[in-house]
Amino acid sequence: MIMIESFNSNFALKKNAEGKEYTPHFNNLTRSGLYFKNFYGNSIQTSKGQFATLCSLFPHSQKKVFSRFPHNKFRCLPTILGEFGYQTTFLKGYHDLSFDNTGNFMKTIGFKETFSTPDLLKDEVDPKHSWGWGIEDRFSYDELIKLMKNSKKPFFGLFHTVSNHINFDKVPVDQRL
C-alpha cells in the first residue's frame, strides 16, 4: 500500500488544457493495480489518515491517536495480516519515525518492521536528493522493492511518501516536471 503525501484526486486521471495528463505514471498504474475511484479522506493530517485507513476507525476529531492513545490495543490490518502469515513492514520517507509517535504506533498495530528510508540508506544518497521533509521517493520505492523481494512470506507493506510534502521550491529544477 502506498500512501502518497499531498496527492489528491483533482489531478489523477485528468488532463490539463493542452490535453497532457497531470499524472501519467499514476494513471498507468490504475490499469494494473487496485484503484478506488472514490475514497473518503479522513483527515488532512497524515497520522489521522493512516489510522483510519489501517484500523477502519474514525480518527479523533481533535487529537492524534498515534500520540494520544499509544498503548490502546487496536485490531488493525497489519495485525490481521500477520495472523495470516504475512510479513508486515512500514516504510516512511521521512527521517524521523518518532514524529507523531509513528514508529511506535505502527509496531503497536502489528507492523513487524518499521523503517525510515534515510536510516536504511545512511550516507548512500547525495544530499541533493533530499528536499522538503525527506528523501526523494524513488529511493524509498527501491528499498520497498528490496524488502518485498527478500521476504520469505507473503508481504504487506505500507510506504508513506514524503518528498512532495512541502517546500516545492527546494525540488531541483531539472526534476520538477
Paired residues of 92 in beta bridges: 116, 160
Question: How much of the chain, in percent, has pLDDT values that exceed 70?
Answer: 91
Residue 165 has pLDDT above 80, yes or no: no
Measured CA to CA in angstroms, residue 88 lies from 18, 77, 134 at distances of: 43, 10, 23
Residue 112 has pLDDT above 90, yes or no: yes
Among candidate residues 81, 47, 46, 94, the one with its CA nearest the CA of residue 66: 47
Rounded mean pLDDT, 161-165:
76
Rounded mean pLDDT, 9-32:
90
pLDDT in tens, 24-73: 988 998 888 888 877 776 777 787 888 888 988 777 667 777 777 777 78
